[in-house]
Amino acid sequence: MKRTLFFLTVLSVFLFATPLFTTAKQVDAPSSIMDQGSTRTCLHVAEKGGYKNINSPANGKEKLILNATLNLDGKCISSSSCEIWLHNSENTNIEDNEKMLKKCDAGATNNFCNNTEKIEEEIQSEVNKDPKWTQITNFTILSSKPGQTNITLNGVEEAVLGEATGDTVPPGDVNIQVSDEYAAHVDWSYYAVGDGQVLPTETGAGGATPIEEQNPSQQLGSFNEPVPTIDINQEGLKEDCVTFYWDPYGRVFDSQSLEPMSGVKVTLLDDQGQPAIIDGPFKNYDFTKLDNGIYNILVSKEADYQLMVDSPLSHLFTSAVNLHPNFSNIYSNIYLPGDIFHEAPIPINPTKDFDYSKYLHDIPLVSKGEPYFVPEEDVFVLKSTVMSADMGSFVNFKGRVTFPKAKVCLVGKESKKVFGNCVNADKYGNFLININKNKSPQEYLYIIAEKIKLTEPVIKSNNIDISKINFGDENLTGYEPILNYVEGYAYDETGQPIPNAKITVKLKDGNENFYTTTADTTGYFTIYGKNLPFPEYYFEVNDNKGSTPRVLTTSDFVKTNKSFLVNQSLNLMNSTKNNQPIINPATGELNQIVRTSNKPLKSTFLKGELTNRISVDILSVDPPN
């Protein structure tokens, strides 16, 4: 399956095979180095080096896992050193298959409902990963600057190239090797994360560039709060990043509507027209998914192959096909009955100019009557692909929708307004939206995905009919605001402030503790950006009385403190009061900020609007330095 990942220029891995047991050492607890003042850049798979191992199933468990040794390169733009961090998503194929089963259980008549046992079998073969951030604490440094044979870490520790070096890499070029196990249908992304002090521009960092003038897929950054000190462009577009594909792969679609078709069985045949023999625990067929009508089949050895399609009763798999002229905007390498193709497994480290097109086989079906159109309810965003990150001057939002070229907009849950520009997903449903920090709202953003007519030109527009959106749709998902600064009160579920509450910041992916503070006797607390992570997070509020801690999303926090934030003219996305930075970027000192009252009123979060009026002279619960 070909999938293009957008968040920065990250390494994404979609892999399968069976496990080998030598893996990288990992630390699950998040590091303070992941705060909003850190530098972060993606690492890529090097053009040469690395290998993968495919072995027989371990302990009889036929799981889709691959063990691979990867050579990664990139840059550490910190002035001291960088840690290596790995982010993994959930398993997108499990989510897709579970959606299909749920539709069948509700009485749907889709093609795939005739093969629910195969869907359940596929779910059982998948590895269900919880999304999280993991520090990689052992790796091998392969090279340093030209002509050097050793390196110095943190100005002290020397390490010979080719040997394990500990927990960090030095600033500048990064070239390391890491071994680990990777589950199929999971996004795996490696980063070099360092402190907020950036390398001088002569080592590769560019000067600041307005976000409007940057290619969104190239934006990397190093930022101090509350405004960026420098934006860094690194060479390399998203297509330069290596993705491990299943092979062969493709989509099945209606030849006239061009819309993808789910539930169609595609089988791999040998050159004699017999079902191909596949090594290991993998099957020689697949059913197309709600996710863009995609199928994936493993080729385990180089040979000549064919494909057989069990078309639904409404369609024909035939060479007598008259494709709509717009097909080339979405599909390519059209496969017709009887075609024979020569194929070998895709190499573990293909070069940047590697020709993936020969592994793609898009299959048109001819309708016996009216063309097929995807039901509106089958066009949705896969929750397992949704991710956002604070990149300093802007917030990066990404994900994948189940329909090619779908229109995607971000709509505020409270305001019902569109934020940023609506975009059209690519032909595989991937989308990316960047919103300048000063235009990012302090509310939850729904992702609204709409079908477009694939037979007509794509018209870009921010117009969307809010009245037609079902905000109660369980398929709706979105993004919590990544607040740069937190100030307000901790409340219980009845709306009463909690004196001396313990507030813990926790990463959304992994649920790991990132930072803990304590409110004062009125329930008031502050947290500065240096103690907040750049990925999405939430709060756990403990009353210290033995009660179950209350989980509070960032949008819930804003809602419970809405009147207070308005009264104080506070913008938690930009760390500003009355449009002035709460922390002076010139001095790094806390600005003198006066509040207006001295006693919080009861929160009415659960029953209506909040009516707080609060005050003291200087905000200093959580000092900036």
Max mean pLDDT among 17-26, 208-217, 281-290 falls in 281-290
Residue 422 falls inside a structural domain: no
Q: Which pLDDT belongs to residue 621?
A: 35
**Cα 5 from Cα 242, distance rounded (Å):** 10
Residue 388 falls inside a structural domain: no
Bridge partners of 12, per DSSP, are 243
Q: Which pLDDT belongs to residue 500?
A: 96
Residue 375 falls inside a structural domain: no
Residues 225 and 276 in one domain: no
Q: Which pLDDT belongs to residue 613?
A: 29
How far does CA 6 lie from the centroid of its chain? 8
Does the pLDDT value for residue 620 go beyond 70?
A: no
Residues 316 and 335 in one domain: yes
Q: How many residues does the chain have?
A: 625
Q: Which pLDDT belongs to residue 564?
A: 95
**Cα 623 from Cα 625, distance rounded (Å):** 6
Residues 85 and 234 in one domain: yes
Averaged pLDDT for residues 130-140: 87
Residues 520 and 550 in one domain: yes
Write the pLDDT tens digit of every residue in 570-613: 999 988 998 888 876 555 566 655 444 545 555 545 444 333 32
Q: Of 320, 358, 313, 312, whose CA–CA distance to 338 is shortest?
A: 320
Q: Is the peptide bond before 345 cis (omega within 30 degrees of 0)?
A: no
Residues 189 and 51 in one domain: yes
Does the pLDDT value for residue 468 go beyond 70?
A: yes
Residues 47 and 150 in one domain: yes
Q: Which pLDDT belongs to residue 359?
A: 83
How much of the chain exceeds pLDDT 70, in percent?
Answer: 70
Residue 237 falls inside a structural domain: yes
Averaged pLDDT for residues 104-114: 89
Count of other CB atoms within 10 angstroms of residue 606:
10
Write the pLDDT tens digit of every residue in 209-232: 222 222 222 222 222 222 222 222
**Cα 191 from Cα 171, distance rounded (Å):** 13
Residues 42 and 189 in one domain: yes
109 backbone dihedrals φ, ψ, rounded to 5°: -115, 25
Residue 527 falls inside a structural domain: yes
Averaged pLDDT for residues 249-264: 96
CA distances 217 to 187, 209, 214, 237, 333, Å, are 17, 14, 8, 6, 26
Write the pLDDT tens digit of every residue in 477-505: 999 999 999 999 999 988 999 999 999 99
Model confidence at 254, pLDDT cuts 50, 70, 90, reads very high
Bridge partners of 518, per DSSP, are 502
Residue 187 falls inside a structural domain: yes
Bridge partners of 478, per DSSP, are 446
Domain tally, the chain? 3
**Rounded (5°) CA angle 132-136-139:** 155
Residues 337 and 287 in one domain: yes
Does the pLDDT value for residue 141 go beyond 60?
A: yes
Residues 148 and 270 in one domain: no
Residue 443 falls inside a structural domain: no
SS3 state of residue 587: coil
Residues 503 and 535 in one domain: yes
Domain that holds residue 534: 481-625
Characterize the bridge pairing of strands 82-88 and 394-400: unpaired
Range scoring the smallest mean pLDDT among 33-47, 378-392, 532-546: 33-47
Residues 530 and 558 in one domain: yes
CB within 8 Å of 205: residues ≥ 6 apart: 77, 198, 199, 222, 230, 232
| Lookup: tokens for 373 | 């159109």
**Cα 432 from Cα 215, distance rounded (Å):** 12
Calculate the average pLDDT of the chain. 76
Residue bearing the bigger pLDDT, 165 or 175: 175
Averaged pLDDT for residues 370-384: 94
Q: Which pLDDT belongs to residue 63?
A: 65
Task: Give me the CATH number covering residue 320.
Answer: 2.60.40
Model confidence at 396, pLDDT cuts 50, 70, 90, reads confident
Of the candidates 367, 395, 410, which is a domain's last residue?
367
Q: Which pLDDT belongs to residue 508?
A: 94
Write the pLDDT tens digit of every residue in 288-308: 999 999 998 878 788 999 999
Range scoring the smallest mean pLDDT among 80-89, 333-342, 354-363, 513-522: 354-363
**Cα 273 from Cα 316, distance rounded (Å):** 19
Q: Which pLDDT belongs to residue 225?
A: 25
Does the pLDDT value for residue 28 go beyond 80?
A: no
Residues 85 and 211 in one domain: yes
Residue bearing the bigger pLDDT, 101 or 13: 101
How far does CA 281 lie from the centroid of its chain? 29
Of the candidates 332, 367, 402, which is a domain's last residue?
367
**Cα 164 from Cα 142, distance rounded (Å):** 10
Of the candidates 334, 367, 400, which is a domain's last residue?
367
Residue 436 falls inside a structural domain: no
